[in-house]
Amino acid sequence: METIDTVLARLERVNEIGASLSRERDILPLLERILLAAKSITNADGGTLYRVTEDGTALRFEILRTDSLNIAMGGSSGTPIKFPNLPLRNADGAPNDSLVAVHSAIHCRTINVADAYADPAFDFSGTRRFDQSTGYRSKSFLTVPMKDHEGEVIGVLQLLNAQKPGTTEVVPFSLADQSLLESLASQAAVALNNRLLMTQLEVLFESLIRLINIAIEEKSQYTGGHCSRVPELTLMLADAVVQTTTGPLADFTMDERDRYELKIAGLLHDCGKITTPVHVVDKATKLETLFDRVALIDTRFEVLKRDVEIEALRAQLALRPCVDAPAEALLASHCQEALSAIDSDRSFLRATNKGAEFMNDAAIARVQAIASQRVWRNEHGAVVPFLTADELENLSIRGGTLTQHERSTINHHIVATIKMLEQLPWPRHLKRVPEYAGGHHERMDGKGYPKGLKREDMSVQARMMGIADIFEALTAADRPYKKGMKLSQATSIMQKFKESGHIDPDLFDVFMHQEVYLRYAEQFLAPWQIDEVAA
């Protein structure tokens, strides 16, 4: 007979266990802790934790332990439980009351069996077969339903063979055992249900984030991959920094909650691009808007060639009957020279339109000369400049395909990102998401945007994301305006960025020394991009 002090001590232990369960974040460790705690406070040799399946039709084995047989299945054991689910109803739809765990779940009541071999109420044939195969003797059972805060059964705790303290003698589970296990099961169910709800909310939240990224990807097929690759690379770099034991980043640490926060920030770092016009995001050539306007210029060149030929033919006809063959030959020669000049200008503008190479002063001057010296007769018969002011501005872009206005439009996505993220009521463990996501276009020297932050103004995580964002952009092979770079070229450019104060030098050193770039490449880049990188 237990003393009051012993019972109170065990009850206090139950409360301590319940409090510790509420702090567990992962489902499987939580389930395992619940079963081990239940065995501990009742001195049970074995136990099984079942959960009601998602469709509510059966009990599923989750964790199984029997100490004297050294049996451990499920949870951290690494051994899967291959037993079939226990259906809650028979084939005819009647409750499956013959199985004690199922009966407990269906009727939401505790069942305390002193001796399974002497109990006629339930079917213990499976237990007897187990005993025959192992030489074990299953005797006392204590089965308790786990009810959540709404009174719904979400699982069952079943303990086997209570042992007399200090011995291996199997005894029935006492009323004190039953009361303590019911208390623990109640607390465990609440902890489990809260964790399940949190997990469901996290899954829902991440799904909503991915929904935004899908919308961006549907809008721009070239941006969606970026939205998923940057967080992956950011986390690779974060893990490498955590593993660093020397240098200025040796004290940097992150737990799972910090890592999750960084992951969410990475997934949302470009959410503002949902506001960016698609013709700017996907601008593959200098003249592209809803379509590539170089086709219009092609048409004008064809009109110029037609006009030159018509003018030459008219001049030749004026000489009929032919009285000056040299004059006709000269006209034909001038015509051919004019056509060749037109074709040359056309080829030049087509190459210029691609924006693949930097435009020097001579190239800019040639574009301006074409705009100022050439005219064409439009569909109304009016003589107008060959290039419009907008076409001239676009074709005069020195590098890339974006005008200054379009680049400002693109850059505005980070302003939109910050504005969107700051509107959300972030919980405490995610409150730094806006800062992490909003800082990936800042520079260490303060010349970045949108806030012009310097290195000391930024978190390490935001600086990590800046490196990941740039490296992904350099190596991405799905951009409309460029090919993905090889590792050697991308890391060389990043090295220059380090030296110029663009990216964090300490983080980039970790990125290189721990070969984060290579791990990323092996997962996301084409084989031809993976080449030797200078040490």
Q: Which residues contact 217 (CB under 8 A, 6 or more apart)?
A: 223, 224, 225, 227
Task: State the Cα–Cα distance between residues 102 and 531, nearest whole angstrom.
Answer: 60
Q: Residue type for 385, please?
A: P
Amino acid 161: pLDDT: 95
Q: Which residues contact 265 (CB under 8 A, 6 or more apart)?
A: 231, 432, 433, 434, 436, 437, 461, 465
Task: State the Cα–Cα distance between residues 249 and 514, nearest whole angstrom.
Answer: 13
Amino acid 411: pLDDT: 67
Amino acid 214: pLDDT: 78
> What are the C-alpha distances in Å from 494 to residues 229, 434, 497?
18, 25, 5
Considering the entire predicted model, what is its pTM? Answer: 0.61
Amino acid 19: pLDDT: 56
Task: State the Cα–Cα distance between residues 329 and 324, nearest whole angstrom.
Answer: 9
Amino acid 482: pLDDT: 64
- Rounded to the nearest angstrom, the gap between the alpha carbon of residue 196 and the centroid of all alpha carbons in its chain is 21
Give tens-digit pLDDT for 232-246: 999 999 999 999 999
Task: State the Cα–Cα distance between residues 268 and 272, nearest whole angstrom.
Answer: 8
Give tens-digit pLDDT for 16-35: 665 555 555 677 777 788 88
Amino acid 305: pLDDT: 83
pLDDT, one tens digit for every residue, the chain (535 residues): 555 656 556 666 666 665 555 555 677 777 788 888 888 888 999 999 998 998 999 999 999 999 999 999 998 888 999 899 999 999 999 999 999 999 999 999 999 999 999 998 899 998 899 899 989 999 999 999 988 877 889 889 999 999 998 898 999 999 988 988 888 888 777 777 777 787 888 888 888 888 887 777 777 665 557 888 999 999 999 999 999 999 999 999 999 889 999 999 998 888 777 776 666 556 667 777 666 777 778 777 777 887 888 888 888 777 777 678 888 788 888 888 988 988 998 898 888 888 777 889 898 899 899 888 888 887 777 888 888 888 888 888 887 777 777 777 666 778 888 888 889 899 888 999 999 999 888 999 999 888 999 999 999 999 999 999 999 989 988 665 567 889 999 999 999 999 999 999 999 999 999 999 999 999 999 999 999 998 6
Amino acid 472: pLDDT: 92
Of 31, 49, 51, 72, residue with least CA distance to 158: 49
Task: State the Cα–Cα distance between residues 227 and 248, nearest whole angstrom.
Answer: 30
Amino acid 36: pLDDT: 85
Task: State the Cα–Cα distance between residues 427 and 431, nearest whole angstrom.
Answer: 6
Q: Is 81 in contact with 64 (CB distance < 8 Å)?
A: yes
Give tens-digit pLDDT for 67-115: 999 999 998 888 999 899 999 999 999 999 999 999 999 999 999 999 9
Amino acid 5: pLDDT: 57
Q: Which residues contact 433 (CB under 8 A, 6 or more apart)?
A: 261, 264, 265, 268, 421, 426
Task: State the Cα–Cα distance between residues 406 and 95, nearest whole angstrom.
Answer: 68
Task: State the Cα–Cα distance between residues 389 and 395, nearest whole angstrom.
Answer: 10
